[in-house]
């Protein structure tokens, strides 16, 4: 539901009087999402929002691993999609980006690859 709300432009959100149907849609989506998440939470579902946490392959899915100066290697700094657990079991892993450990890829070579790391 957050995706549906995110496609509505800032102009529509700011000028609710002029764009009443879209403003009403946005409001109703927010209410429906709150009700759904409240019900699921009461049955043991938890949202996985790991900003600043160490990457854990059991509950996170790495979409990108980047060299990012100033960020601690292996710590999640961007979430592409939130994850969910139900009573401690992963329903959907959070899709995340985290900085890599430069020492782990030093000298990495791939036979048959067009590009090889030159670290």
* Chain CA centroid to CA 67, Å: 19
6-61 pLDDT, tens per residue? 776 677 667 767 778 877 877 888 899 899 989 999 999 999 989 989 989 999 99
For 53-58, the CB contacts below 8 A with 24+ separation are: 55/96, 55/98, 58/90
- The percent of residues in the chain predicted with pLDDT above 70, rounded, is 75
Is the separation of the CB atoms in 48 and 70 below 8 Å?
no
**Mean pLDDT rounded to a whole number for the chain:** 79
Fold adopted by 44-119: Nucleotide Exchange Factor Grpe; Chain A, domain 2 (2.30.22)
Domains of the chain, by residue range, sit at 1-43, 44-119
């Amino acid at each position: 539901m957050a995706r549906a709300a995110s496609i509505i432009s800032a102009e529509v959100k700011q000028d609710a009087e002029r764009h009443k149907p879209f403003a009403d849609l946005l409001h109703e989506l927010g209410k429906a999402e709150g009700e759904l998440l409240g019900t699921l939470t009461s049955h043991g579902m938890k949202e996985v929002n790991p900003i600043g946490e160490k990457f854990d392959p059991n509950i996170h899915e790495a979409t990108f691993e980047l060299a990012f100066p100033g960020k601690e290697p292996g710590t999640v700094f961007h979430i592409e999609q939130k994850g969910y657990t139900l009573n401690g079991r992963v329903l959907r892993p959070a899709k995340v980006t985290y900085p890599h450990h430069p020492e782990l890829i030093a000298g990495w070579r791939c036979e048959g690859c067009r590009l090889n790391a030159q670290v």
